[in-house]
């Protein structure tokens, strides 16, 4: 029976999924898809013509192809790469996203980047050119140095929010991030070309482009571009900020007033974990609220793992509570496995059973908690008597510099105070 090729591919998608289709289709090609070692320039294409640009390198490590994606100081390792014929499939290590590409003569990649949001898939056309180390095009001598701290406003009205722009400039090269009440935009990299600022960042979760015009001590006509969403306006003024008000940061929960009583399943061994377990008696316990889809959780997790290894003997325990895009346990475990495989968790990682987008998640998982969990990551600090003492939202990651150092100092101070009680 002869089957129309278009309908065959559709049927294959339903039957064996994207990766299977990729291998099936590529099987008809005799072209080789070995990725050339060296530097590449990648472009994610938006419908409005704007591009999220990033650089990456390809190399061999232990007889396998490894990619490193560059954003300022971060070199993100990607090692799940499959090639066959002229097809290339790249699975990002986190955030449930992937590339399905065609290798053209070894010097060009074209295809689609897909990000799974649980209830929907977002796709962006992608192209990469071999041997191009430039981050942005049309370089001009910089007329302004934007190094320093910038009081920033993104959006308008109730949809707007305040942020701190943190930039370091060397010649035309600019690195930095934006610190918001719920976390930061991680590592951004770009240029100051004439009076035009351009910064981009891609890690598989974020796909960001910021542009603005420098006018003295102001940044005006700013645009923030993300994954297929409408651009958001932003503007900033040069100003030193020491503290950015958190989305919520509760210090005044009355001691002895709130206890949490949950029984949740560890995603690695299916054992039920409860704060009433003997393991947590007379211990200071931190609940790490995270999701595998959350870029700031990716930064916070190594810090907490390292802290736990160094301080568990002092009477400190950690429990990670996972909130995925869906309530489905099997699907959530699939997406969380990227975290479980990459990080050396020595404490339980339990499944909340509630989607991160559920507006009632606080009362469903932590009934009685006097603050709504609205941001990820968040931390809940519990004293040695089992009572909640503090809830902290967001995470100032390594890209924020001194704010990262201040967070670590504050975290340590809180734990030390609770241990002394």
pTM summary value: 0.87
Question: What's the CA angle centered on 188, arms 183 and 193, to 5 degrees?
Answer: 140
The secondary element (H helix, E strand) that includes residue 342 is helix 329-342
Q: Using CA atoms, how far apart are residues 348 and 318, in angstroms rounded to an integer?
A: 7
Chain centroid to Cα 300, Å, comes to 10
Give backbone dihedrals phi and psi of 7, rounded to 5 degrees, phi first.
-75, -30
What's the pLDDT at 347?
97
Q: Shortest CA distance to 262 belongs to which of 347, 358, 365?
A: 365
By CB atoms closer than 10 A (0-12, 13-18, 19+), residue 307 is middle
What's the pLDDT at 91?
95
What's the pLDDT at 376?
93
Q: For each of the chain's 421 residues, which pLDDT tens digit applies?
A: 333 334 334 433 433 344 444 444 444 344 445 799 999 999 999 999 999 999 999 998 778 899 999 999 999 999 999 998 899 999 999 899 999 999 999 999 999 999 998 889 999 999 999 999 999 876 788 889 999 999 999 988 777 888 999 999 999 999 999 998 888 999 999 999 999 999 999 999 999 999 999 999 999 999 999 998 899 999 999 998 766 655 445 556 778 889 999 999 999 999 999 999 999 999 999 999 999 999 999 999 999 999 999 999 999 999 999 999 999 999 999 999 989 998 999 999 999 999 999 999 999 999 989 888 988 999 999 999 999 999 998 899 999 998 899 899 999 999 999 999 9
What's the pLDDT at 244?
62
Helix pair 402-420, 295-311: axis angle to 10 deg: 40
Q: Using CA atoms, how far apart are residues 191 and 87, in angstroms rounded to an integer?
A: 33
Domains, in order of start, for the chain: 5-130 (2.40.128), 148-238 (2.40.128.120), 249-420 (3.40.30.10)
Give backbone dihedrals phi and psi of 212, rounded to 5 degrees, phi first.
-165, 165
């Amino acid at each position: 029976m002869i089957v129309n090729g278009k309908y065959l591919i559709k049927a294959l998608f339903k039957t064996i999924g994207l990766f299977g289709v990729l291998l099936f289709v590529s099987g008809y090609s005799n072209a080789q898809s070995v990725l050339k070692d060296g530097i590449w320039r990648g472009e994610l294409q938006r419908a409005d013509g704007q591009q999220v640009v990033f650089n990456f390198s390809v190399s061999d490590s232990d007889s396998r192809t490894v990619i490193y994606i560059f954003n300022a100081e971060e070199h993100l390792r990607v090692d799940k790469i499959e090639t066959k014929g002229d097809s290339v499939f790249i699975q990002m290590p986190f955030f449930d996203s992937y590339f399905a590409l065609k290798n053209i003569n070894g010097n060009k990649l074209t295809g689609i980047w897909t990000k799974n949001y649980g209830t929907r898939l977002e796709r962006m056309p992608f192209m990469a050119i071999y041997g191009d180390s430039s981050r942005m095009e049309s370089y001009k001598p910089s007329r302004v140095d934007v190094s320093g701290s910038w009081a920033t406003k993104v959006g308008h009205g109730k949809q707007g929010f305040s942020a701190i722009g943190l930039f370091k400039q060397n010649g035309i090269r600019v690195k930095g991030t934006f610190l918001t009440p719920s976390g930061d935009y991680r590592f951004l990299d770009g240029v100051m070309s004439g009076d035009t600022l351009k910064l981009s960042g891609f890690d598989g979760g974020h796909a960001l482009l910021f542009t603005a015009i420098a006018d003295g001590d102001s940044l005006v006509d700013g645009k923030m571009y993300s994954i297929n969403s409408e651009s958001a306006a932003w503007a900033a003024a040069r100003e030193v900020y020491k503290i950015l008000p958190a989305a919520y940061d509760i210090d005044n929960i009355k001691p002895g007033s709130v206890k949490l009583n949950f029984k949740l399943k560890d995603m690695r061994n299916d054992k039920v974990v409860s704060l009433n377990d003997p393991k947590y008696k007379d211990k200071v316990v931190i609940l790490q609220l995270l999701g595998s889809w959350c870029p700031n959780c990716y930064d916070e997790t190594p810090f907490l793992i390292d802290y736990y290894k160094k301080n568990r003997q002092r009477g400190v325990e950690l429990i990670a509570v996972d909130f995925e895009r869906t309530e489905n346990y099997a699907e959530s475990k699939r997406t969380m496995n990227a975290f479980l495989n990459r990080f050396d968790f020595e404490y339980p990682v339990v499944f909340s059973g509630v989607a991160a987008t559920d507006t009632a998640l606080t009362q469903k998982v932590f009934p009685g908690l006097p603050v709504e969990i609205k941001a990820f990551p968040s931390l809940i600090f519990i004293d040695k008597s089992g009572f909640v003492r503090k809830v902290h939202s967001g995470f100032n990651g390594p890209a924020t510099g001194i704010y990262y150092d201040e967070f670590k100092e504050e975290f340590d101070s809180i734990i030390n105070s609770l241990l002394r009680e």
